[in-house]
Structure 1
């Protein structure tokens, strides 16, 4: 052990033990750290599974009269990486050593997981553990109609802390209450400055950085729909303009928003978005894009925003999809104070296996079919240019109603393994709300738990079973855990395939006479089996958001019967069912989400 520099008593930790602080800073040679090896005691479940666990072959008993009080040691010279810890349960007691506060939190939490399962007789063991990624983040979309209540957001922080997530972002387009822009957020039930400050303090108390997030180029339709902001649009005369014109005026407007938003946060980082600028070069910037190139025009506007934030000493995050289309520009990006967010949400697959019509449709919408190969295709331009980057997979919950858990697992694991191999600075799990954010938060929980686990240590958590871990540590109910896993896999039984969503959700969102974006083959037996599975879950689950999600998916399956087989419940029965579903969706929405956006979300549920 390192020489003792100072020892002082601190406030007792959550386990009632004492904390010893030892310390000076030093560089740690990560290349010399041993490989993962975890020999779990039989029947013990841990989330995440530690990198190294050695059984010592005995047990340690405690009782109410003689409780075990762990000694926690804060030792920056402990030869452990940041946020790592060592937990030792031996005949002489329990000891947790870590280089920082988060390491102590994680070691103490692991001890509590063991205590919950083993009671008064703990197995003797030694755990050494540390994260693969320094940053393990979660980004929740609060701009596609659903804004969680403040109580729900505070509860989310507790869940993220239990999963060892250390960065939270709330994806924002129009759902912050900017004082001078009430017209934009009036009907959205936005977060207020005081609520953000409260959430920021809660995150800090749990060892989580709350990073502000404000899209700043594309996806600005909620602003540009109003006449007073139209002059900022790339296509001001379009029916639904969504992209800012890349002008000094637009950059100044965004800086004015940052000036109001950033003082609410401790973080010195900001995610400025700037993804999916589909309209760029089709309106006010057409001539400039034709003469200088669309990539160059995009880059110049991006750097207008970045330079202003750098002048304030801030680190800027931005979505890397547009720069990825212009690899020559990556060499010009700053290497300091900038993080590219490399995103992709599908399980890796060979695009040649897709129908030619699907590949053509992707290309026409600006998506390179080769991107479906996964993060090994997406990362190299940034890694080769030595641009710091995060890998950003997703929960696959949006456009699904009840999840796409197998897709999420493959996508998350691909991001973790490939990101680690290429030297990613972090892994940010995204949770979007496309098409009205119809799915409840619980549907994302299995993917969130898995993503958090593989971002901590992919090697020991790749095959994580999930169902028992969810029941033990997150939902507290085996039936709910089983339902989440079962529902999340239902889409695979359909025989139909889509990208960025489940056929069940897309059928629900598509009028019966509309064009359905799926491929593959299904039959009456497959669809009947899906309906039966969903009906069983509707019967077993208590009234609430998850049962409602299953009922919406069942309605989607009935529509699939009409779309694919020209059979199914009569149209009038479907109308009655949808009417009841809309009423129940409004009720359960208000349990954990604000009323703003509900009307817009429900408006998507139509039959014809």
Structure 2
């Protein structure tokens, strides 16, 4: 008999597959309100109407048309799909909470009307419309007719993609990732760099051919913007920079010889950080930059040992983080940092005492990759101190070929649920490719489940993601051969 636990399957994962068969509409994420109206044959074809639309809404219409064409849904007058803005078609049921990214879908015989107050709202309505239309070779295309009202629970819903400890995605693969994330209403993509983003100011920092070039970064940002996805680059700016520090030119910035942590007291540390992030700000013009700051295990074992012995690890750590944030203030970006080093009860008084200018400039990203009954202890230090925070669960793909679903699904479910309860502004689901063994196409289940958890209010049900994987599998599998670069 197949040993499902040895393969990383779980009772929750198997239940997800079982439960999906009983679900009626299989919409992912699950909308807030759905009134099903039965199945409608599309033998007469579909026409998409976007009268008076701006460029954003025309793109949403074109994206929807492309999907229907790929599914061999004929063009014709059988069903009109109308894309429109709320301003031109007022609806008293369209609440203020819905306006930033929410939408409605309304079916009347012959017409499916998609309404949003904003460009993202119209786009997300079109993504749901894709899921309402089913088509298979040789079968009659069908519409699952429904009236829908929907909007997200969390403002920021994204994926953190490790591009430093394994294959470095090609630009084409990243575009496929962008399209798939957007189809399930994620709005953030965060590539992770240790030494795989090329910087003009530091030509030795990345290996040519095994890193993203500035031109690729610029192209990625422009492509993602069409899909209402913000690209947030993470460049480690404290720990995890051992590949850079192997170069003699940068060695004086190291906390310990041949180590991976920058020494806070060394002038060269700030010179490196300043150069990298000025370059990043030019390549990635969005509102956020991520400076990392996790797992600074060597801090206090080298150049800063006297200071750490005198004052303690957390004060030395926070002093350097404040210095980094102050240096980056002219870039006018919100700075994300990992919350593991100071996100604990011992550091809580220090967090509360931080200047308000620092708190206004940063967002802590609390991470936890194992299921727990309650994740509030990860978040309370930031909530009590007034520092905005996100939650970061994990697909649990690291150091193994197939993700451990027993860990991943419960972690994503519980951490996102508790983040919503405690006021987290966002969720950043994480991929980590430690040792490079993870098979990219095995990660989609957890990626899409994470997107559903961030959009939906409260505890996402496991069944929501199984149909999502099935719906996108054909398109996704075609990308398996284009991951090409290894760092």
Does residue 1:82 correspond to 2:100, yes or no? yes
Q: In the alignment, is the contact (CA less than 8 A) between 1:173 and 1:222 conserved in 2?
A: yes
CA distance in 1, matches of 2:422, 2:458: 16
Give me the CA root mean square deviation. Answer: 2.5
Question: 3-state DSSP class of the match of 1:449?
Answer: helix
Which of 36, 50, 71 does residue 55 from structure 1 map onto? 36
Provide the residue aligned with 1:99 in structure 2.
Answer: 117
Provide the residue aligned with 2:10 in structure 1.
Answer: none
- Correspondence 1:443-592 to 2 at 5 A: 443-459=442-458, 461-464=460-463, 466-475=465-474, 591-592=481-482
Q: Which has the higher contact order (CA 8 A, sep 6+)?
A: 2
CA distance in 1, matches of 2:343, 2:142: 54
Provide the residue aligned with 2:17 in structure 1.
Answer: none
Residue-by-residue CA offset, 1:231-252 (whole Å, 9 max, x unaligned) = 101112xxx4011100243123
Question: How much does 1:468 deviate?
Answer: 3.3
Which of 202, 213, 229 does residue 192 from structure 1 map onto? 213
CA distance in 1, matches of 2:42, 2:108: 10
Question: How much does 1:46 deviate?
Answer: 1.7
CA distance in 2, matches of 1:88, 1:41: 24
Q: In the alignment, is the contact (CA less than 8 A) between 1:234 and 1:285 conserved in 2?
A: yes
Provide the residue aligned with 2:63 in structure 1.
Answer: none
CA distance in 2, matches of 1:119, 1:411: 40
Q: In the alignment, is the contact (CA less than 8 A) between 2:449 and 2:464 conserved in 1?
A: no
Provide the residue aligned with 1:167 in structure 2.
Answer: 188
CA distance in 2, matches of 1:138, 1:241: 28
CA distance in 2, matches of 1:235, 1:167: 35
Does residue 1:138 correspond to 2:156, yes or no? no
Question: How much does 1:58 deviate?
Answer: 7.9
Q: In the alignment, is the contact (CA less than 8 A) between 1:49 and 1:460 conserved in 2?
A: no
Does residue 1:264 correspond to 2:283, yes or no? yes
Distance change in 2, residues 1:283/1:471 (3 Å): same
CA distance in 2, matches of 1:185, 1:395: 27
Provide the residue aligned with 2:341 in structure 1.
Answer: 322
Q: In the alignment, is the contact (CA less than 8 A) between 2:79 and 2:110 conserved in 1?
A: no
Does residue 1:115 correspond to 2:114, yes or no? no
Distance change in 2, residues 1:266/1:474 (3 Å): farther
CA distance in 1, matches of 2:22, 2:299: 57
Structure 1: gaps (5+ residues):
1-39, 349-372, 481-541, 546-590, 598-608
Question: 3-state DSSP class of the match of 1:299?
Answer: helix
Which of 210, 213, 217 does residue 231 from structure 2 map onto? 210
Question: How much does 1:337 deviate?
Answer: 2.5
- The structure carrying a bigger strand percent of its residues is 2
Question: 3-state DSSP class of the match of 2:353?
Answer: coil
- Correspondence 1:5-84 to 2 at 5 A: 43-56=24-37, 59=40, 63-64=44-45, 65-75=76-86, 78-79=94-95, 80-84=98-102
Question: How much does 1:119 deviate?
Answer: 5.4
Question: How much does 1:379 deviate?
Answer: 0.8
CA distance in 1, matches of 2:423, 2:30: 22
Question: How much does 1:121 deviate?
Answer: 5.0
Q: In the alignment, is the contact (CA less than 8 A) between 1:212 and 1:262 conserved in 2?
A: no
Which of 240, 245, 252 does residue 219 from structure 1 map onto? 240
Question: How much does 1:60 deviate?
Answer: 7.6
- Correspondence 1:281-296 to 2 at 5 A: 281-296=300-315
CA distance in 1, matches of 2:22, 2:117: 26
Question: 3-state DSSP class of the match of 2:446?
Answer: helix
CA distance in 1, matches of 2:439, 2:232: 23
Residue-by-residue CA offset, 1:140-199 (whole Å, 9 max, x unaligned) = 000113201121111111111112110111100110112343434226611000000000
CA distance in 2, matches of 1:51, 1:146: 38
Structure 2: gaps (5+ residues):
1-20, 46-75
Provide the residue aligned with 1:401 in structure 2.
Answer: 401
Distance change in 2, residues 1:184/1:460 (3 Å): closer
Q: In the alignment, is the contact (CA less than 8 A) between 2:291 and 2:335 conserved in 1?
A: yes
Question: How much does 1:374 deviate?
Answer: 5.1
Q: In the alignment, is the contact (CA less than 8 A) between 1:70 and 1:93 conserved in 2?
A: yes
**TM-score, normalised on structure 2?**
0.81
Larger Rg: 1
Distance change in 2, residues 1:458/1:476 (3 Å): farther
Q: In the alignment, is the contact (CA less than 8 A) between 1:90 and 1:125 conserved in 2?
A: no
Q: In the alignment, is the contact (CA less than 8 A) between 1:60 and 1:123 conserved in 2?
A: no
Distance change in 2, residues 1:125/1:467 (3 Å): closer
